[in-house]
Amino acid sequence: MENITLKQILDATNGTLLTPEISEDTIVKRVISDNRKAQAGDLFFAIVGEKMDGHSFVNPALNAGAVGAIVSKEPDEKVPGKFYVLVPDTLFALGDLASYYRMQFQIPIIAVTGSVGKTTMKDMIASVLSEKFNVIATEGNYNNNIGVPRTLFRIDRNTEVAVVEMGMNHEGEINYLTRMTHPTMAVITNIGDAHIGNLGSRENIFKAKCEIFNGLSLDGLAVMNADDEYLVKLKDNEDLQKDYRFKWVGEDSDADYGALDIDDTLQDGLKFTMIVRRTRTGIDEKDTIKVPARGRHMIYPVLAATAVAKKLDMSYEEIIEGIKNYKPTAMRMETWNLGNGIIIYNDTYNANPQSMKAGLSTLANTDGSRRIAVLGDMLELGDLEEDLHRSVGKKAADLSIDTLITIGQRAKYIADEAKKGGLMDVTSYDDAESAKDQLDSLLTDGAVIYFKASHAMALEKLAEYCKDRI
């Protein structure tokens, strides 16, 4: 982060300075909301959360070195020599300051959203662009109204491109984040069932994801999934087509960046032929692409990253090198090769029906003596909860997974539907601890185990347990 002044903070937040004796030329070097990380030159935001009120930690942060604080309550006692800025809502003030700060830099910013694969998409784009540019990208999946400002504040004078992931579980959240970020490019991965319990339908999810256009700069690049039944509706939106430059990616024969001859049976990744249509020369261009990650779904982040990179005038040689250097974020189809043919796929960060089915397909295409799926509850699916869990069970049966273990009450629907589909080796447990004995017996040579559930299920602990047992 570059230094900013107290005056800039007041201008950005429209706040009231409670300590007028402090010079408005006071320098702030960093923005934080965790008092435990406070150091000299920091600005502390007293965020009010569901469980904790940041106002309880204002003075500890200031005593630890922070130069000032943004508050929505006047403090009973003030730390001498520190400034306090009063605002109606500290969380909104954080967004206002982040937006102001972002606008000090005239750099390309790529915003990424979608129901499934946002973090993978963000990571692939960052990996490719890093071959040519100094790139900052969202760390992990800090993609909400605290995480996005955190990413924007990491921009400095050396940053050439930023890749910002945007998540949501309610209408209006992407609108807020995109207007804060002012992206020059936007990528939507797909429209799925994630958070359908909050939004009511996939149509509403589609509308919520499309809020990303509300902050996209005019004539900005919009990279869309050509195989998504909802996103293709944007081709008929005359206003959006007029205001933005669309590039379509996927297996569809009309995609600008397409995938042919997809081989997802390789044990060390994915291989396909990328075709670039409607080039400036009028001639389709083809390249063989090898991705160091498994799963047919990996064509989408590769193709989208290529579209973004070409907009920034990168060569295909640079793009291919960036794809080779891709490394997934932890717990996103993280692959552990543990010797004697034993493989664990730790895909436990979160789950929805689309991503769980994609993971099962990858499991089914992995060579091994026994393919084992350990699947837990998927949350925020609302009234469709049973049907969507059952759809995963049907997929497991269709793929003839050797052993299915489910964890949690909702996941029992997966088990029940898999049994109906003909799977014989199916077991359900109420909790992860109860599954350990069975998994111990399955950790034999050639076993391939796939773990997937919503984050609240903490299934990564069970994956780690199995890893440590080998």
User: How is residue 270 written in tokens?
Assistant: 């994915």
- Give CA separation, 285 vs 261, 272, 291, 332, 363, in Å: 15, 14, 19, 31, 32
| Dist. CA 146–CA 177, nearest whole Å | 10
Crossing angle (nearest 10°) for helices 385-398 and 412-420: 40
Annotated ligand binding at 357? The verdict is no
> What is the phi/psi pair of residue 46, to 5°?
-85, 85
Instruction: Give the closest residue to 74 by CA, choosing from 20, 18, 33, 34.
Output: 18
User: How is residue 11 written in tokens?
Assistant: 């201008």
User: How is residue 7 written in tokens?
Assistant: 């005056």
Contact between 206 and 229 under an 8 Å Cβ cutoff? The reply is no
Residues 6+ apart with CB under 8 A from 300: 117, 121, 189, 190, 225, 249, 250
User: How is residue 415 written in tokens?
Assistant: 């088990």
| Dist. CA 315–CA 132, nearest whole Å | 9
**H/E segment holding residue 418:** helix 412-420
Annotated ligand binding at 184? The verdict is no
Annotated ligand binding at 120? The verdict is yes
Annotated ligand binding at 117? The verdict is yes
Annotated ligand binding at 382? The verdict is no
Q: What is the CA radius of gyration of the chain?
A: 24
The Cβ-side half-sphere exposure at 417, using a 13 Å CA radius, reads: 17
> What is the phi/psi pair of residue 325, to 5°?
-90, 5
Q: What would the DSSP string read from start to end of 392-417?
A: HHHHHHHTT-SEEEEESSTTHHHHHH
| Dist. CA 169–CA 186, nearest whole Å | 19
Annotated ligand binding at 322? The verdict is no
Annotated ligand binding at 73? The verdict is no
Classify each residue of 32-62 as buried b or exposed e, where b means 16 or more C-beta atoms within 10 Å of its C-beta. bbebeebeebbbbbbbeeeeeebbebbbebb
List, as residue ranges, the binding site. 114-120
List, as residue ranges, the binding site for ATP. 114-120
